[in-house]
Structures are given as structure tokens and as C-alpha cells.
Structure 1
Amino acid sequence: MQDSGIGIAAADLEEIFELFRQTERSLAHSPGGMGLGLTLARKLAELHGGALVAHSEGLGCGSEFTLTLRRVAPASASAVGEGEDAVTAVPPMSILVVDDNRDTADAIALYFELSGHETRVAYRAAEALSIVANWTPDIVLSDIGLPDMDGYELVRALRKLERLQATTFVAITGCADDRAAAVEAGYVAHMPKPADAGRLEQFLMKRRASNRRSP
């Protein structure tokens, strides 16, 4: 697909595919938009064995998006080749997303659902505690600035639960300076917003694969 619109700055050619990424310099910026469409479009392409890339000569020069899809493999082909990364063999994960911004929480959950993972959403810390009373997530992705209990208090409370000893906790926050405090509170990783969903998913799958190999 090619257009003659506002174009994309070179620095934004990959950033526009990040979750919630919006920029004044490119068509990724849409007043009132969430910066989610291109992320999900690329994800859908990858799920079909393809790719979605952007190209532009710069601002004011229009944009071009190229979608490529691989041919369907023969029915006799193995689902996972012997040489493939062990991460690809990790079973679907159960993921709890905690964020008081409903659009953000729902969008993150949708992204991981498209990958085949089971997701649940909580918009307050109290809701998260209620959910884990009857459900054990493999992953908890939590914002820090929650209205009823901040993310630090929440992860401390969750880590006290014996059933969540194997759960991986990741802080997703708008403040890059929260990293040290997040790790001290009990998060194993800290990702500033806007989140790079693909990188986050790879991190979680590698972490999960590592945990499964541990005695």
C-alpha cells in the first residue's frame, strides 16, 4: 500500500509499530487514537508467517507499507523444526494485566490474546487481588500508578501468596525512573511506556522457557 501523505521520519520507521506509540512526526499520530493499529497489523502478519514493514523517503514524501506472507507449508511439515529456538515451543501463558487506563489494559490483553495466550484484566489493585484468589497467572504485567494501591504495594502483596511463587512480575510504567524501585519491590523487569510489545513478548517467553528448564 502506498500513499502521498505526510510521510514518516526515518527515526520513526520502526517506532510506529510499538504499542501505543504516537508521534507528531509521522502518520502514527492520530488525535484521539491509541497508537495500536499498526502494532496489531504487524502482529497479525507475523502470526501468518509474514511481515509488515514501512518505507518512506521522509516527511512530506508519502509512505509505503509492504505486507509479505509465506506460502502454506505442506500438511506433512513439522510444526516445530529441530533447529528452531526452544522459545517457540513454550506453551501459551496466562497473563494478568493491571492498569487503571482501561484502553491501555484492554489493548495489551488483546495483543497477547492474538498470540494465543490467556489474559485477564484488572483496572485496580483490588481487582487484581480478587482475580488471583481463584486463578494463578504465569505473568503479571502491572502499571505502577494505580488509584487504590500503587504497583509497589501490589507486587509485595502478590509475592506473599504461595501460589504465585512461580509467577513473573513485570512493571510497565510511564516513568523511566521507577526501575530501581520496581526491582526492589519485587518486579523482575521494568518496561517504560510506550511498551515494545514484541520485545516484551519475547522476554516473557524466554523467561518462561528458562523456568520450565529449571529443576
Structure 2
Amino acid sequence: MANFQTRILLLDLCVVIILLTHADYSKSNQEQSIQQHINKTVFVGETVTLHCNKTKFDDDFTWKINNTVIFRQVSDINITKTNFSSNRIHIDPASHRELTIHQIQTSDAGNYTCYPAAIRWTLTIPEKQIRTESLKQMPLYIIIIIVSCSGVVMIGLIITICICNYRKLRQINSSSEKEDVKMISDCDKHTITVCVYSLHTAS
């Protein structure tokens, strides 16, 4: 009885191997030519979803990243194989034609291909945008410190400008007062001179 069960198990295993081999062979034939090539620019931190067109052969479905299989579903034998390189990559088992990548990183750049539709996306990440996004991802406390320092600098600048203007006004007022005193003094001298001259004439 044990030998009979072992033979049945081996037979089932051989059938599975043959079917998988056949599926891989049919996939290799389908994957020889790309039907559609899409270039897509993404930025660090974004979420992107890649859509694969529906075909009549969707019972056998494959996703690849740079020629490495990350998802394969063979409906005939009810087998699904996943090999995700990151937990940020997600394929919904109920809708395996959609591949979603959350919080895009530089390591996610490359070619993403789905079969049997044979659509390939080439994801690129511009270096300049990466630096900009990295600044956007700074911790909140650093942003608060920067804003606070900027506010302090602005207040200091305003105070400095006010002090400078106040000193200039004081200098202007002081010089004006000196001119007034000088004018009064000159007038007094002139009046004394006139008076002395008048007295001298009268005598």
C-alpha cells in the first residue's frame, strides 16, 4: 500500500514538472518579441502602477524585472510563484495584470515586462529630481529648525534696519538743532553789534 501511494505521488510530481516545463517553454516562445515598449519617468517617493493588457492567454501570466521572473501564475495547475525583490512591489492576486511599486527608490529603475501581452516599461529616475525629493523627505524637526532660524534672522534684520533708521533720524535732528542754535547765536551777535554802534553814535 505504501509503495502504491509513493508511485502515485511520484507520478503526480512528474506531471507537475512536465506541465511547468511546458509552461516555461511556451513562455520563452511568447517572450521573444516585445509588442509594446513604454518609457516612463518616475521620481523618488512616488507610487506607480503598471497595467498589462488582457489577452486570451492570461491563464498563464508572468511579470519580469530586468529578465528576472518576479511573478508567475499557471491557472491550469493552480500554481502561483512570486519572487519579489522588495516588499514595496505588490501584485494583487485578483488582478495580476497590475503591478504597483510604492515609495519608488533609485534601485527600482529598470525594465518591467508582462506576458503574454509582451508590454515593457522602462522606468527611469532623473538624478536632479532625486536630490530635490531627498530634500523634501527631510525630518520635520529639521524643517522646523530651519524655518525658526530663518524667522530669527528676519527679525534681527528688521531690528537692525529700525535701529539704523532711528540713528539717522537722530543725527538729522541733532544737526538741525545745531544749525538753529548757530542762527540764533549769529542773530544775537548782530543785535549786540547794532546796539553798540547805536550807543556810540548817540554819545
TM normalised by structure 2 equals: 0.20
Point out the structure with max Rg over C-alpha.
Answer: 2
TM normalised by structure 1 equals: 0.19
Query: Whose strand fraction is larger, Structure 1's or Structure 2's?
Result: 2
